[in-house]
A and B are shown apart, each in its own frame.
Chain A
Amino acid sequence: MKKTMDEFRAAWPQLSPAGDTCRVPARDLPLVAAWWREAGARLADAFALADPGSPRDYLVRYVFEAPPDAFVTMESPVTGTPPAYPAVSLHLHAADWFEREIYEMYGVLPEGHPALGGFVLHRQGEGGPFPLRKDFARSTPLPGASCVSHPHQAQGRGVFEMPLGPVYAGVAESIHFTLTSIGEEVFWVVPQLFFKHRGLEKAGEDIPLERVLQMVRRISGIGAVSESLAFCQAVETAAGTEVPPRGLFLRSLLAELERIYNHVGNLADICESTSLGVGAAQGFVLRERLLRLNCLLSGSRYLMNAIGFGGVLRDPGPERISLMRDTLRALAGDFRRWIAALLATDSFLDRLQNIGVLDSGAAANLGATGPVGRASGIDRDWRRDHVYAAYGRLEFRVPVESEGDGLARLKVRAAEVEESLALVEQLVSSLPGGPPQNPRPPELAPGAAASGYCEGPRGAVLHWISAGEDNRLWRLRLRPPSLLNWHTFPQATEGCAFQDFPIILASFGLSLAESDR
């Protein structure tokens, strides 16, 4: 880390970084971002906030994940009417969607960005409203109903545009796809997200921290542990709260349980998308057994009210923990037999091999994360790279595949479940005693800011908070993993056949609740 920062100082002598944050004049931002990309850093997040000193001016923050284990933030003040700065996405494709969000939420204009508007708020006009601005009251209604737009219309002999969504399939999350095809081949898929946008970043401002935590657990209910873990870590870092060792271990335990049930559910979804009925049914039986185990352990089938500030809310106690270990041991055998049978079924593998290929170049360029990235050769896992909770004291392997197809994503998930089962054994055998939670509620000094992160089942979660008055938040930034992976999804569908589309969708295993938030 120090070495990279020294190189940065040498390359940009006029800038003076303080710790891992550096103020950069807005005009230099694209070149600084390009420098970080050349230095091997990956863009983790980019967002704006109203300057706490003068709320009509704005700050944009570009957060890079610099190898091996650091986050660096480039922060630029943006002023003027309308506030504008040169777009970074022309140099760094990964910034594309973040800058569209920055524009619609704040009216801060990334100049030169080719496609602004109609992204989060489907019916936003030229002049706003911009909901994250401080002069926008949280309950102000937005104008008009939404409708589906066609941003990339294609025309020509035999070209057919198939609209899909937002209400489609059996029980599915709301999204709209435009599949453009000639005959059987789909040559381009345009997903339109944010049908489920609930304005959670705004809703988290100026309410008591406890209520923010309740809300963060429900960004995506099936990611309740990872989302609340990242948020709690951010608050704890900003407030200087210590977490007792038992709390750290229980947090890792809950996070692994969440990973196991999510991956098993996703593998069953892949079976269902390929019409392997019995395989899917057996996967769903495993999933239900895991959810019941969650309920017995924490009182919620989705581990909803488990993580709290300063540790975990409820200590399961030795009896339940040994019950959990026995149940998981029995379940592991069934899981292994199920996966072995899947990998021995040629008709199933045929539907996944060379389907939905995301090559490692595109994955790195767009910042793919989690199992999707690791299946395309991106060897990043924040449990190992940015140690948190109890992961520093545990041994595990990070499975990586290089093919980037549907089968690679399935293999990565199956291997991660094995690793997680082994991690649970390690955690149970080395669980320290003591209290599970620091009873002192966190106190945030005005202006305190911190980020919290963890590796959730769908990838890296990165939240950032900045405190305002009265132990409430000035800005809550939520960067869920699915947002990054949705950006890569059209690449993987290029040239697919119609009947492969649901399989590619299932193999990505993305959540819209968390990307739309």
Chain B
Amino acid sequence: MANWVYRGLAGGVVTTRYPHQSKDIPGAWPGIPAAAGGECPAGCRACLDACPGGAVDFKEGTPLIAYRRCIFCRRCVDVCPAGILTWRDDFRTAVAPECELPRRFSSRSVYIRHVDAGACECCLWEAGAVSHPFYDLNRLGFFFVTSPRHADLLLVSGPVTVNMAYALEKTYQAVPRPKKVVALGTCACGGPAVGVGYATPVPLPEVLPVDVFIPGCPPAPLTILHGLLLAAGRAEHGGPDGQMTAARS
């Protein structure tokens, strides 16, 4: 056993300093599609036609990406003839549905119960990764708990399958008030990628009151950390136009 203690110490510290210090980590997040500005060619709707999830919208002649429905497949960027849509090196996609920021939790520590409502497992790997050495969410005062009765926050991934709907409802009821719900991943944010089917009849936002959406397919660990800080009232909105300010401690 002493050998493992030595090995652990010899490995050094790998944990990121986010959000107090942000630096570029190659490969830690895939990036997001975003409009870089400029004029679209007249009548061009290439990105709109290429998007498999209906995530592209047009506002005043320029494309606008609804990240809650985006599966980050890059097709819109690939087909854009004028370079309006570009791939931006950013990870902050989390937003709260209302414009104002979620209220801060009264205590510094936030306890999270995760519910898998039919996710394809990538969201689970990334949600697991935030408690691993590189990201370590415990240093920010977040903890995963096993009982919903100990939880402040319900982290839900997946499109809410018909077989999980009842368990999800019971879990939500078991969380004491005040409670928050965070939707993790595009399936939970905007419904299943292939549309509503017999086994996924009602998307999460219509089942539970969602306080924060963390889009991504899957959302990178830092995206999840940003979303959790946002839900705790300790970070600003994400998205390409949101200005990231470091959390006020």
Contacts and interface: CB of A to CB of B under 8 A. Distances in A.
B52 A291 contact: no
Contacts of A140: 198
Contacts of A219: 120
B105 interface: no
Contacts of B125: 221-222, 265, 302
B66 interface: no
Interface stretch (B34-42, B55-63, B70-78, B232-240): B70-78
B199 to A, nearest CB: 3
B14 A285 contact: yes
A220 B121 contact: yes
B52 A285 contact: no
Interface stretch (B92-100, B159-167, B241-249): B159-167
B203 interface: no
B121 A221 contact: yes
- Most chain A beta carbons < 10 A, residue from B5, B31, B198: B198
Contact residue range for chain A? 35 or more
Given A169-B146, A284-B129, A138 B161 contact: no
A265 B73 CA distance: 24
A214 B73 contact: yes
Interface in B102-154: 113-129, 131-134, 144-146, 148
B248 to A, nearest CB: 28
Contacts of A330: none
- Most chain B beta carbons < 10 A, residue from A204, A220, A344: A220
Interface string A4-20: 00000000000000000
A214 B198 contact: no
Given A174-B167, A305-B74, A281 B198 contact: no
Contacts of B134: 284-285, 288
Interface in B162-198: 162-169, 171, 192-198
Nearest to B128: A171
B30 interface: yes
B199 A291 contact: no
A211 B51 CA distance: 10
A322 B183 CA distance: 38
B205 interface: no
Contacts of B116: 167, 171-174, 196
A195 B168 CA distance: 11
B74 A221 contact: no
Contact of A200 (B14, B29, B194): B194
A34 to B, nearest CB: 34
Interface in B64-98: 71-74
Nearest to B124: A171
A300 B118 CA distance: 21
Contacts of A293: 27
A278 B161 contact: no
A136 B218 contact: no
Contact of B196 (A139, A167, A294, A514): A139
Interface string A136-154: 1011111001110000000
A302 B218 contact: yes
Contacts of B171: 167
A422 B164 CA distance: 42
Given A220-B120, A295-B28, A202 B198 contact: yes
Contacts of A295: 26-30
A215 B194 contact: yes
A154 to B, nearest CB: 24
Given A196-B116, A202-B198, A146 B166 contact: yes
Interface in A229-283: 265, 276-279, 281-282
Contact of A131 (B115, B120, B192, B198): B198
A15 to B, nearest CB: 37
A288 B7 contact: no
B22 interface: no
B229 to A, nearest CB: 18
Contacts of A445: none
A513 B28 contact: no
Contacts of B5: 278
Contact of A299 (B7, B30, B126, B159): B30
Nearest to B119: A513
B197 A221 contact: no
Contact of B197 (A139, A211, A279, A516): A139
B69 to A, nearest CB: 13
B197 A170 contact: no
B180 to A, nearest CB: 17
Contacts of B71: 214
B132 A285 contact: yes
B52 A292 contact: no
A470 B155 CA distance: 41
A309 to B, nearest CB: 14
A278 B2 CA distance: 11
Given A142-B162, A166-B164, A197-B199, A207 B122 contact: no
A341 B3 contact: yes
Contacts of A139: 195-198, 201
Nearest to B14: A285
- Most chain A beta carbons < 10 A, residue from B71, B125, B200, B220: B125
A204 B132 CA distance: 36
A347 B1 CA distance: 8
Contacts of A121: 162-163
A296 interface: yes
B185 to A, nearest CB: 9
A293 B164 CA distance: 34
Contacts of B4: 276-279, 341, 345
B217 interface: yes
Interface of A: 121-122, 131, 136, 138-142, 145-147, 166-174, 194-200, 202-204, 207, 210-211, 214-215, 218-222, 265, 276-279, 281-282, 284-285, 287-288, 291-296, 299-302, 304-305, 341, 344-345, 347, 511-514, 516
18 contacts: A139-B197, A142-B199, A145-B162, A167-B148, A171-B116, A173-B121, A196-B119, A196-B163, A197-B162, A199-B199, A200-B194, A207-B194, A221-B121, A221-B122, A265-B125, A292-B27, A304-B122, A513-B118
What 6 A-B pairs come out closest when comparing CB atoms? Answer: A292-B27, A221-B122, A199-B199, A145-B166, A295-B27, A284-B132
Interface of B: 1, 3-5, 7-8, 11, 14, 25-31, 52, 71-74, 113-129, 131-134, 144-146, 148, 158-159, 161-169, 171, 192-201, 217-218, 220
Given A276-B4, A345-B1, 16 more contacts: A167-B168, A196-B161, A197-B161, A202-B197, A203-B192, A214-B193, A220-B120, A278-B5, A278-B8, A288-B129, A288-B133, A292-B25, A296-B27, A302-B125, A344-B3, A513-B121
